[in-house]
Amino acid sequence: MLWNLYLNENAKLFRRALYWVGLAILVGMQLAILGVFFAMVNIPALSQTLPPEQVASFKGMLTWPSAFYAALQLSGSSIGVGGLLTLVLVGVVVAQEYPWRTVNLVVGHGVPRTRILAAKILSIFTALAGWMAILMTVVGVVTAFTSGWVGTELDTGSVNVLPLGVSVLRVILALAPYAALAFCLAVATRSTVAAIGVVAGFSLIVEPLFVQLLSFMGGGMSRITSYLPMMLSMTLLKANGQAATVSAPGTMDPTAAAAVIAVYTGIFLLLAFQIFRRQDLSS
C-alpha cells in the first residue's frame, strides 16, 4: 500500500509545472555562473584584471571534478537558490492538498494517515534527488566542452562516482531540516505562504542574526551557533569535494553534524505526523 501511495505522489509531483520550473531555475542559475566563469577566463579584458590564482580557480570550476562540487555548493546552501526552491516545492506540494481536498479523498477511502504522509515525504526527497541528478548531468555535459576551451584536458578518471554520490546525499541532508520544517508548517497551517515565509525568514534573517549575536558574546555562547541548522548544513557542504579540509578545532565533525541534522529532521517530521493524525479535515 505504501508503495502505491508513493508512486501516486510521484505522479502528482512530477506532473506539476512547479517541479520543472524549479529545475529550470536551478540549472539556469548554474549555467549562468559557468558562463560568467568562462567569460572571465577567455576574455582578455576581463582575465587580465584578475590575479592569476583567481583565473586558475575559475578554470578549475569549468572542468571535472571541481565543476560538480561547485554546483553542489549552490544547490545545498539553505540561503541559496537550492534552499529557497526546496521551500517553495515543499510548501506548495503539501499545503495545496488541503484546498484541493485530495487528502480528504484518500483518507475517506480508509488509507491510514501515517502512510499518506510517509508517501509524501518519500516523494519530496525523491524529487530533490531528481533535481541533483539532472543538475549533475547537465553540468557534466557542459563542462566536458568547456574543459578544452580553457586549455585543460578532460580527465574522465578524475571523477570518483562514489564520493560524488556521497556528496549529493550530503546536499540533500543539508536541506532536510528546512524541508522538514516547511513540511510541518504546511501541515499545521494549511498555508503555502506561512510554510514558505516562516522558514525562509528563519534561514535568511533569524539564523544569520543569531550567529552574529552569539559570536559577539564569544566564549561558550559562540559554540551554540554550531548547532544551528544553517551551520550544520555548512559543515556538511564543506566536507564535499576533493579539497575538503579537516575540521578546524572547535568546529563540529561532519558525521556529528549529519547526526544532529537527522535529529532536527526527525523531530519536525514526527511533529507533522502528530498534527496530521489529529487534524480535522472536514473544515
Question: What is the per-residue pLDDT across 85-131, written as a single tens digit (0 to 9) for each?
Answer: 999 999 999 999 999 888 888 888 889 999 999 999 999 999 999 99
Does residue 31 surpass a pLDDT of 90? yes
Q: Spell out where 64-103 has E strands.
A: none
Does residue 193 surpass a pLDDT of 60? yes
Domain limits for position 79: 2-277
Residue showing cell 561547485? 70
**CA dist., res. 91 & res. 179, Å (int):** 9
Does residue 247 surpass a pLDDT of 70? no
What backbone phi and psi angles, to 5 degrees, belong to 228? -75, 145
Whether 283 is covered by a domain: the verdict is no
Whether 260 is covered by a domain: the verdict is yes
210 is written with which cell numbers?
543569531
pLDDT at residue number 219: 64
Q: Using an 8 Å Cβ cutoff, are 71 and 139 in contact?
A: yes
Residue showing cell 545545498? 76
Q: Using an 8 Å Cβ cutoff, are 89 and 183 in contact?
A: no
Residue 265 burial (C-beta neighbours within 10 Å; 0-12, 13-18, 19+): buried
pLDDT at residue number 220: 67
Choose between 157 and 181: higher pLDDT: 181
**CA dist., res. 135 & res. 181, Å (int):** 25
Does residue 4 surpass a pLDDT of 50? yes
- Percent of the chain surpassing pLDDT 70: 94
Q: Using an 8 Å Cβ cutoff, are 86 and 180 in contact?
A: no
pLDDT at residue number 191: 94
DSSP structural state of residue 48:
T
pLDDT at residue number 180: 97
Whether 199 is covered by a domain: the verdict is yes
Instruction: Quickly state the pLDDT bin for 61 (edges 50, 70, 90).
Output: confident
Does residue 272 surpass a pLDDT of 50? yes
- pTM beyond 0.75: the answer is yes
Whether 282 is covered by a domain: the verdict is no
In whole angstroms, how far apart are CA 85 and each of 11, 74, 79, 158, 238? 20, 12, 10, 30, 21
**35-44, 123-132, 209-218, 245-254: segment of lowest average pLDDT:** 245-254
**66-70, 239-243, 253-257: segment of lowest average pLDDT:** 239-243
**CA dist., res. 25 & res. 30, Å (int):** 9
Does residue 183 surpass a pLDDT of 80? yes
46 is written with which cell numbers?
576581463
**In sequence order, what DSSP letters do the residues of 38-63 get, joined into one string?**
HHHHH-HHHHTTS-HHHHHHHHHHTS
In whole angstroms, how far apart are CA 27 and each of 189, 258, 282? 31, 26, 40
Give how many domains the chain has, as a whole number: 1
